[in-house]
Structures are given as C-alpha cells and as structure tokens.
Amino acid sequence: MRRIALLLLPLSALAAPAEPLVDFAKLHPRAILDIRYATKNNFTHEAVYPAAKCLLRESAAKALAAAASDFESMGLRLVVFDCYRPLSVQKKFWAILPDERYVANPAEGSNHNRGAAVDVTLADVQGRELPMPSAYDDSSPRSHRDWKGSSPAERKNMRLLEAVMLRHGFIGLPTEWWHFDAKNCGDYPVLDVPLR
C-alpha cells in the first residue's frame, strides 16, 4: 500500500486572491474628488501624485459608495481627499513628517498603501465643505477626534461622518478625523503601484 503525503498549507495560503484596485469614481461619480496629493494643496506643498484618482480595493470601494449614497439621502455629498497611496509616496511623507500619529511608518506600510483606507469629509449639495475641527492634513491636536476645542457644529459634522462611515465598515483613526480604514484592511499587502 502506497502512503500519500499530505501537504498542509497555512490558512493564509487558502485565502481568496487579493481584490483588485478599482476606480471609486466609476462606482459613485457624484462624490467630489479633491485628491490633494495630486495638487500642491497638501502638507508637502508639491504634487506627489501624477493623477487625481481614488483607487481602492473593490470591497472598500463598494462600501464607500454605499456610504456616499447614505450621505446623499441626507442632502450631503462625500468629498474624497485620498485613497490608495503608493509606498514610494509614503516614504516621502515619512521623510517630511516622521510622526506615527499622522504618517504611518513605511517600514510597516499604511493602510492607504494597501488600498484599504480613505481620507474624506462632507459637503453640502452645492459642494461647500461642512465645518470640521481642523483643516485636512493638520498635524496638530485639532485633528484628533477627541479634541475638545471644536465648535458644536464641527463636532456634530465629525460625528455624523464617523457614524455613517462606521455603519459601512470603516474605522476612524483617533488622530485624524478624516481618515478611515476598511475593516479588513489587514487582509491586503502593501503596494507600490504607480497612480496613472
């Protein structure tokens, strides 16, 4: 009788292949794309992306589209500042601001590098951004979710943004009111695919 050797694979090897990156604007064209890193209007003061695109893992993009639809039912629009970010850009950010409260260490990678994090805010139907506790990319305690110095309107808007994003599977970063990670962000590898 021949013996058959069993090959035992780790569970991670049996997982489904990684989801592709998809263009969020094609799923929800009514959202406002204000991809700051494709402009000089960001903390680096230079355009570090060659294209103003929001690429996300497919499940994250679908969840974000559902959140954007929820906001629309409230008479609001979702504004997207950042989505997938190449690791090479993360390294530039770390060289400028090596503070893990605001920039993920590229040695471990950011969930943006995995295509599973978004930076967003809200606007009214005319596209005017709602008041929030700080400007986008503010690297100070004003950007923290628990900052006590914001106005009642700013706190209300921030909490609404957080509540709807959480309902659609996104977890907020404590130090940046605009940053949300997809609940399964750890399932994806860090990428350094150029934005085109």
Cα separation of 183 and 78, whole Å? 19
In this structure, what are the phi and psi dihedrals at residue 61, rounded to the nearest 5 degrees?
A: -65, -40
Q: Catalytic site residue 176?
A: yes
The size of the chain, in residues, is 196
Residue 158, burial from CB neighbour count under 10 angstroms (0-12, 13-18, 19+): buried
Q: Can you point out the beta strands (E) in 55-164?
A: 55-57, 76-82, 117-124
The catalytically annotated residue of 19, 46, 162, 176 is: 176
Cα separation of 149 and 158, whole Å? 13
Catalytic residue numbers, as ranges? 176
